[in-house]
């Protein structure tokens, strides 16, 4: 499954595969952009199959219905959505175009990298564990970004070697996505990556 969003200030491409033999993918994601901001969530339900899908899907619905809220609030909504469900690793990213800032929070083994046009790689470390509806501490971080920066978010179904090499250069995100799909195939786990460029 893949998705492609193109706006004047952002381009995003997502790609997802389910664990071999499974009808359901335990990863879920959602992203959308207004004139003011871009919001993206990636959730990796614990385990695989239908219950992992239900858990991650509930997180996505929480963000979809409340995308106007700030990242800290969205993380709380995601956590609340997982009460009495299987837990999930969750990352939420919100980019504010006019301020040229992005806010990021993550609990669990989802990775995020931002590569600036000046060659700097930023990778905020997630809080270990997962969301399950229990009280949770979040580590929400705010960063500024340069024009033509790129970002990559991915679930633990991917193990990338040399993220900087993937993101550097002026290649469009669709080209980088095709490169990832060609080089990194994974059938032993649910796998999702979301790559974007900020104008």
**pTM summary value:** 0.97
The 3-state DSSP composition of the chain as helix, strand, coil percent (nearest 5) reads: 20, 35, 40
Burial code (b: 16+ CB inside 10 Å, e: under 16) for 119-129 equals eeebebebbee
DSSP class of residue 87?
Answer: -
pLDDT at residue 185, rounded to an integer: 82
Distance CA 25, CA 50 (A): 8
- Could you tell me which of 187, 190, 196, 150 has the C-alpha nearest to residue 16? 190
pLDDT tens digit string along 91-142? Answer: 999 999 999 999 999 999 999 999 998 999 999 988 999 999 999 999 999 9
* Contact assessment for residue 195 and residue 176, using Cβ atoms and an 8 Å cutoff: yes
pLDDT in tens, the chain (199 residues): 789 999 999 999 999 999 998 999 999 999 999 999 999 999 999 999 999 999 999 999 999 999 999 999 999 999 999 999 999 999 999 999 999 999 999 999 999 999 998 999 999 988 999 999 999 999 999 999 999 999 999 999 999 988 999 998 878 999 999 999 999 987 899 999 999 999 8
Tokens of residue 183, six digits: 């080089």
* CATH superfamily of the 2-198 domain: PPM-type phosphatase domain (3.60.40.10)
């Amino acid at each position: 499954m893949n998705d492609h969003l193109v706006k004047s200030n952002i381009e995003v491409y997502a790609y997802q595969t389910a664990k071999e033999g499974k009808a359901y993918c335990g990863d879920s994601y959602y992203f959308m952009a207004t004139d003011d901001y871009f919001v993206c969530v990636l959730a990796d339900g614990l385990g695989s199959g239908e219950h992992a899908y239900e858990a991650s899907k509930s997180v996505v619905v929480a963000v979809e219905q409340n995308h106007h809220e700030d990242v800290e609030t969205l993380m709380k909504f995601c956590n609340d959505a997982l009460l009495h469900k299987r837990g999930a690793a969750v990352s939420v990213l919100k980019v504010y175009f006019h301020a040229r800032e992005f806010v990021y929070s993550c609990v669990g083994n989802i990775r995020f990298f931002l590569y600036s046009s000046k060659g700097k790689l930023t990778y905020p470390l997630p809080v270990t564990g997962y969301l399950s509806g229990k009280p949770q501490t979040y580590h929400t971080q705010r960063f500024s970004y340069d024009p033509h920066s790129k970002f990559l978010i991915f679930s633990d179904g991917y193990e990338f070697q040399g993220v900087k090499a993937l993101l550097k250069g002026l290649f469009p995100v669709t080209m980088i996505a095709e490169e990832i799909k060609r080089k990194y195939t994974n059938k032993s786990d649910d796998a999702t990556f979301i790559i974007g460029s900020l104008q």
